[in-house]
Each structure stands twice: as C-alpha cells, then as structure tokens.
Amino acid sequence: MTTKKEQDKAKETEEKKAKSTQNNEQKNTQETADTGFWDEAKDNVSEGAKIVGEEAKRIGGKISSYSEKIFGKISESASDVYKISSEFTKDAVNSAQELAEKYKDKYEINKLNNQKKHYATQLGMRFYLDIKNNDNRIPRGFLDENDIKGLISKLEKIDQEVLEITKDEEKKSNS
C-alpha cells in the first residue's frame, strides 16, 4: 500500500508533468506565432524596399534629366560669357596699349620735367645761399664752380631729351 506521502508525491509529479507539457505546448505555439510574425515582417520589409528602390529610380531619372538640362544651359551660358569676355578683354588690352603708346611720351616728358624742377630747385637754393653768404651779391666765379656747372649741364640734358621726345611725337602724329 502506498502511503499518503507517496500518493502526494506521485500526484505532484503528475501535475509537474502536465504543467511541463502544457508549458511546452504554449512554447511551441508561441514559437510558431513568433516565426510567423518574423516571416511576415521580413516580407513587409522586402516589399517596402522594392517600392523605395523603384521610387528612388524614378526620382533619380527626373533629377538626372533636370541636371542634364541645367548643365546644358550653364554650359551654353558659360561659353557665351567666355566669348564675350575674351572679345572685351582683347579690345580693352588693345585700347590700353594704344593709350599707353600715346601717353607714354607725355609721361616721359612729365617725368623729365619733375627731374628738371628738382635740379632747378637745387640750383636756385645754391644761388640763394651763395648770395646770402656774400653780402647779397653774386659771388665771383659762381658759374665756374663744378657743382653749379653740373646742375646746369643736367638741366640742359633734360631739355634736350624733352625736345627729342617732342620731335618723335610730332613725326608719329604726322605719319
């Protein structure tokens, strides 16, 4: 005969087996449900990716078409701008060269006149100081001094250069 304790233990073991079987059945049902969910999710993601890919191709095609049109217009405009600017630059350079040649001589004359003023100022100051140091009289042999002769010589050379430039300019304008 079995004792109460043994009977309780047997009953408890049977309950555990039943519970274990029930848990296994629930687990299998849950795993089946989970597998179905993930399969469906995978299918949905795949389908969504296809749709996004097709839409991306369509949008890419439109962008490519617009880009080609825009690039074509930019290329044409840039080409036109380059032609116009190169012609303008060529004309500007030629005009500047002509003006430079025309006024080169005038610039040289102006430069020489500035040098002449400088030497004339030195000569005038020297003359003034020599008179002041000689009781307001022109010193004897003033024009014979080497530095005075040098300043006068420089002034004469500058005058000669100005005359030569002026003659050349007259020849050019008469030609």
Convert the pLDDT of each residue in 157-169 to its tens digit.
988 988 888 887 7
147 falls within a domain: yes
Average pLDDT of the chain to the nearest whole number: 77
* Reported pTM: 0.44
What is the predicted pLDDT for the residue at 34? 59
Average the pLDDT over 48-75 and give the result.
Answer: 73
Residues 77 and 61: their CA atoms lie apart, in Å, by 24
146 falls within a domain: yes
4 falls within a domain: no
Residue owning tokens 């047997």: 10
3 falls within a domain: no
154 falls within a domain: yes
What is the predicted pLDDT for the residue at 118? 94
CA angle 65/71/75 to nearest 5° reads 150
Q: What's the domain count of the chain? A: 1
49 falls within a domain: yes
The two three-digit tokens of residue 139, written as one number = 């010193």
User: What range defines the domain where residue 143 resides?
Assistant: 35-173
% of the chain at pLDDT higher than 90: 10
Whether the CB-CB separation of 132 and 103 falls below 8 Å is answered with: no
55 falls within a domain: yes
Asked whether residue 122 carries a pLDDT value surpassing 80, the answer given is yes
1 falls within a domain: no
